[in-house]
Amino acid sequence: MRGTVPQLSRRSDPDTSSRRSSARAMFIQLPFQRTAAPSLIGSRGDPTGMSHAKVGGGPTHSCLTRPNRSGDSRPRRRRRWDQRPIDARSGAGRFRIGSMHSSNGAPPRIVFLVAEEVGDAPDEGYVKVVQELTRALGKKATVIRHMTPERPRVAPDTARTPRVRTGFHRMRALLNKRLRAALAETRPETVVYVSRSSISLTALMRSRLLKWMGRQARVVMIALQPRNQSWYSRLLSRMLWPDLVLVSTNEEVRGVEALGARAARMITGVDLERFRPPLTGEKDALREKWGIPTGNRVVLHVGHLTGGRNLEALLPLASQPGITVVVVASSHRDRESQRLEQTLRAAGVMLIHGYLAHVDEIYRFADCYIFPTISTDYAIAMPLSVLEAMASDLPVAAMRFGALPERFGDVDGVVLVDSSDDLIGAVTTLMAGRPSTRKVAELYSWAAVAEQVAAT
């Protein structure tokens, strides 16, 4: 353990007749000089230990003490959740606890955030939402994050795992003593469940399981993609709905409410400090760095190089004189990836593979962003790449996809089309006019997203 020598301080319950009440009232304060991920375990009466913890002078770790079997109440420190390793075979997951905040000395609000199959490379919309939402909520409440490990990806030339098996694998990942113990110890006010499979029957079963383990906690499920339910799913879902479902479009809100649940429309956000317009002379410098012709117009797309993303719509643009098409392809691949790569390269499209820590630089040297995906089965309803492009002050040409018509249907600088053939004309018009989109993107900060989730 690094840092200064811990100073032990005890607070005894006035009622010492019961071990249980005494156990709830005794804590050890462990001040650390610097820690990247503060950890916290509290009791039922004081879930965070913040009523007597030092706030503002660096992170403070609180550990619940319990009487030993011999009857004395010498403090016994429990193992920290965020130090336990991930067991990829059992899918046990891991815990990390965010910032601790308090106002007027009162214990802060506790939010327990549950996510599924989160990998290390945030080049997927779902993973980005989980990571950014955790950071933003951590500025408003104590956030305890439980993440199950990413499953090994199947090879592109093999058949995919059946959906039902995937659903029950995720269910099993939540059936572990560590998660139940964490919910029982911290007694969070809200459990935020970010569902990877959207509003499926198994996802609703997982939300009901979290409701049972969280006891009095309010369960809010975030569904990033719309999903059509079968008749038996609609029938069974009436018994499984969480307290609130956050979706991306008004149509989804009406669909969920028609099944007897409470729903609200949720925005997704963008890092406005990282994604910004280029400074004077920065665009040419970045093009030289990445080997892009400085005299051409650059049309950009960022996303998966997979079937179903309609990337073939970029081919006519690549053949236009004076236009360079750049595709930043994520690490996710499927059976169509190799064929798509060969087709795009043959047409003159510049491909950049893998996760880029500085993908914001790519946006800053582009002139227009294009989003050709048609079906919401292959992307979240509010594409984060569109928001990142707008935050970088790029005009956007996109298909009439997901939540885009509701959010940006009448925004100057965003052109939505119904056919892939119309994308070329939309891109040409936007690059000629060079409209600004930064001010619209400023409404979609992650702080605004956290404010909406925290207010539920």
Residue pLDDT, tens place only, 215-228: 889 999 999 998 88
Answer whether 80-266 and 282-441 agree in fold.
Answer: yes
- Segment 15-37, tens digit of pLDDT: 444 333 333 322 222 232 333 33
pLDDT at 68 over 60: no
DSSP string covering 290-339: HT--TTSEEEEEEE--STTS-GGGGHHHHTSTTEEEEEEE-S---TTHHH
Higher pLDDT, 395 or 202: 395
- Sequence-ordered strand ranges (E) for 70-120: 94-97, 110-118
Rounded CA separation 40/363 (Å): 39
**The CATH number of the domain covering residues in 282-441:** 3.40.50.2000
Spell out the CATH class of 80-266: alpha beta
Q: What is the pLDDT of residue 121?
A: 66
How buried is residue 204: exposed, middle or buried, by Cβ count under 10 Å (0-12/13-18/19+)? buried
Rounded CA separation 156/335 (Å): 4
Q: What is the pLDDT of residue 384?
A: 96
pLDDT at 113 over 50: yes
- Segment 372-393, tens digit of pLDDT: 999 888 889 999 999 999 999 9
Residue holding tokens 């080049």? 123
Domain residue spans in the chain? 1-78, 80-266, 282-441
Compute φ and ψ for 63, nearest 5 degrees: -125, 130
Phi/psi region, residue 322 (left: phi>0; alpha: psi -120 to 50; beta: rest), is: left
Phi/psi region, residue 260 (left: phi>0; alpha: psi -120 to 50; beta: rest), is: left
Residue type at position 78:
R
To which H or E segment does residue 365 belong? none
